[in-house]
Structure 1
Amino acid sequence: LFGQEPTAFRNTELIYNNELANHVEKLGFKTVLAEGWDPVLGWRSSNFVYRSKTTDNLRLLMKNYRLSDDVAFRFSNRGWNEWPLTAEKYVSWLNSLNGNAHTVNLFMDYETFGEHQWEDTGIFDFLRQMPEELLSRSDNDFRTVSEVAAGYPAMDEVDVHNFVSWADLDRDLSAWLGNKMQQGALDELYQLSKHVMESNDPVLIEDWRKLTTSDHFYYMCTKWFSDGDVHKYFSPYESPYEAYIAFMNVLNDVALRAKVRRMGIAPISQRPSEHLLAQ
């Protein structure tokens, strides 16, 4: 799109493990982003560059989830003991890491700005002020993830056997695979992939690919307490069961269209009308 070949890989919801790292390196990427979850890092800090345990030279940048979530989730929380969060206060926290960190990886969704944190929270004023505040000190700067990975040595290797993500308190795949509905829907979806791809129908393939979006399965999550509240907040459905029913209805439509293709029957929209045939 921009005439550049990407060298850094960011998976959906920062999902990562050793096996994924192997695939990512084989695809030619040099850097991968992951959640800097405490059980993964142990005593180590997310504020340094690491390398993947099972690859030759893949650099690993770990999210500083505390400082990231201060903006992404806690910024407008009036019950938070640090509210209101100003650019000056936030940069003072970043400055306190100088001399004991190579990088602070702030990873968050685009919709943090304007959707999760609405304009009236002051989030855009915060964004406007933060760069100037940060750059007022000569030992601070902004870098792309590739620049960070290339500019600092890997301090250690990180071994991640099980999948880790940035979703929910569990930081695993349970946000999308935690119940039978989610597991069944995903299984049915990927069982259909071979027939869809063999159709060579670009519209059908595109519709199937849209169904692989992780949000569909996120909406089917049946967790309770704080995790459940987050899932419910983002879901357009009244319940996870409605999300499942809606998804399966669309998937069945895609399956029927794939079957029609295999039988050699043109979709109705591509058939000449009886009126034209009569002429």
Structure 2
Amino acid sequence: MRTICFYFQVHQPYRLKPYRFFDIGDDHYYWDDFLNRSVMRRVAQKCYLPMNALLLELIERHKGAFKVTFSFSGTFMDQMEAYAPDVLESFQRLVATGQVEVLSETYGHSLASLRSKEEFARMVDQHRDKIKQLFNGYTPKVFRNTELIYSDRIGEMVHDMGYTGILTEGAKHVLGWKSPNFVYQNSIRPELKVLLKNFRLSDDIAFRFSNKTWSDYPLTVDKFISWVNAIPKSEPVLNLFMDYETFGEHQWKETGIFEFMRALPEAVLSKTDFGFSTPSEVLGQVDAISPIHVPIPISWADEERDLTAWLGNDLQDEAFDRLYELEQTVRQLDDPDLIRDWNYLQTSDHFYYMCTKFFSDGDIHSYFSPYDTPYDAFINYMNVLSDFVLRIKQKKKEVESVE
């Protein structure tokens, strides 16, 4: 039997509060607690709680035949504990069924894999420890990098950390004529298997479901099943990867997204030759067909499927460089408050807000941003970073005076 791998990314950033130039050196708390709590509670009511209840219902109804996978960012887990313990409990109930796999990623939902092997490893270790703490000792076996960013070199690092597989984007410019519906392997470490997102069918649900200008609107279960059945019989796995907030937040309840998801598993199991598996199960059951060569990093984002959503202009590059100039000093000081803010300042969303792309991709960027313009995002972030530098210098002086 062929299989569908349903994977959901669950993430909320710690958004910065409005931070003026005159706050530098005076106000050392950067986070908009009111906004972060408000967003978390809103999405909890619209997405996390009702969708978790639906998935639990589906898992119990299909008695082991329906499975899903989650990746929780560290920033999301921290906000669950702070603002939504009811959401945490509902995720814990799902994981306890044994039909849900949890993946590893970077704690701060960071871009560290692009800059620092050491910081990348530290964040992955911290994330793994948090998963163990919240989910009864659970140890992830498969990795999902921030924003599905992947390259041959990143895959090598992930393999060397002990993971058996990694998820990434089935980018057209990498695959060429090949299909994403196979298992591939890292070109440097062939032992690391690579699962590729089928972005067309994933995005039909995640982005196009409620788009009335889409030629295939409305998306019904029968229509989606017909597309699944059209996949050549030789292709063993369909990877449907998407943000969990697709359900109820990006695609509102009124669109019928919950009814679609409620009916989909039964239709798959009764009308196709596909079942459902977690990434670990896929990697254990399906042989890799060939290496996939990705010398330049890819991601899920925008038409280009590259890094330009986060590191594509002078604003982003300046902020990114200034941030990682601090890495060695922050690690040496090992101060809990500095480490917390260091983790949260690395979150990829801060750089995403600085993106200056226009047209369709620009609309998506502005939808997710709390700022009026990318320039506002840059100025606010750099003001915060300036204060963070002052705190590091002060802490370094205190440490040196003691020594």
Settle same-fold status: TM greater than 0.5.
yes
| Stretches (4+) displaced over 4 A | none
Other-structure match for 1:268: none
- Listed as ranges, the matches of 1:111-122 within 5 Å are 111-122=245-256
- Listed as ranges, the matches of 1:3-22 within 5 Å are 3-22=137-156
Mapped partners of 1:61, 1:29: distance in 2: 13
Other-structure match for 1:167: 301
Mapped partners of 1:80, 1:67: distance in 2: 14
Other-structure match for 2:118: none
Q: CA deviation at 1:118?
A: 1.2
Q: Does 1:77 align with 2:214?
A: no
Q: Does 1:131 align with 2:284?
A: no
Mapped partners of 2:264, 2:277: distance in 1: 15
Question: Of the candidates 213, 228, 236, which is equivalent to residue 370 of structure 2?
Answer: 236
Mapped partners of 1:249, 1:194: distance in 2: 21
Percent of aligned pairs with the same residue?
53
Other-structure match for 1:48: 182
Q: CA deviation at 1:182?
A: 0.3
Number of corresponding residues: 265
Mapped partners of 1:253, 1:233: distance in 2: 28
C-alpha distance after superposition, 1:158-203 (max 9, x if no partner): 1111111110111111111111110010111111122222222201
- Aligned to 2:309, the other structure's residue is in SS state helix
Q: Which runs of 5+ in 1 are unaligned?
A: 266-279
Other-structure match for 2:330: 196
Mapped partners of 1:116, 1:147: distance in 2: 29
Other-structure match for 1:94: 228
Mapped partners of 1:191, 1:203: distance in 2: 18
Q: TM-score, normalised by structure 1?
A: 0.92
One-letter code aligned to 2:278: T
Mapped partners of 2:378, 2:342: distance in 1: 16
Mapped partners of 1:56, 1:93: distance in 2: 31
Mapped partners of 2:330, 2:189: distance in 1: 33
Mapped partners of 2:206, 2:234: distance in 1: 24
Higher relative contact order (CA 8 A, sep 6+): 2
Higher strand residue share: 2
Distance 1:134 1:182, change over 3 A: same
Other-structure match for 2:387: 253
Q: CA deviation at 1:104?
A: 0.3
Q: Which runs of 5+ in 2 are unaligned?
A: 1-131
Largest Rg, 1 or 2: 1
Question: Of the candidates 213, 221, 237, which is equivalent to residue 355 of structure 2?
Answer: 221
- Contact 2:225–2:272 (8 Å) recurs in 1: no
Mapped partners of 2:226, 2:269: distance in 1: 12
Q: CA deviation at 1:137?
A: 3.7
Between stretches 146-155 and 191-200, larger displacement belongs to: 191-200
C-alpha distance after superposition, 1:202-221 (max 9, x if no partner): 01110111010000000000
Q: CA deviation at 1:92?
A: 2.0
Mapped partners of 2:227, 2:366: distance in 1: 32
C-alpha distance after superposition, 1:223-246 (max 9, x if no partner): 111111111111110000000011
Mapped partners of 2:296, 2:190: distance in 1: 20
Mapped partners of 2:388, 2:337: distance in 1: 10
- Aligned to 1:61, the other structure's residue is in SS state strand
Q: CA deviation at 1:98?
A: 5.7
Q: CA RMSD in A?
A: 1.3
Q: CA deviation at 1:126?
A: 0.8
Mapped partners of 2:365, 2:306: distance in 1: 15
Distance 1:38 1:259, change over 3 A: same
Mapped partners of 2:342, 2:288: distance in 1: 40
Other-structure match for 1:274: none
Mapped partners of 2:246, 2:217: distance in 1: 17
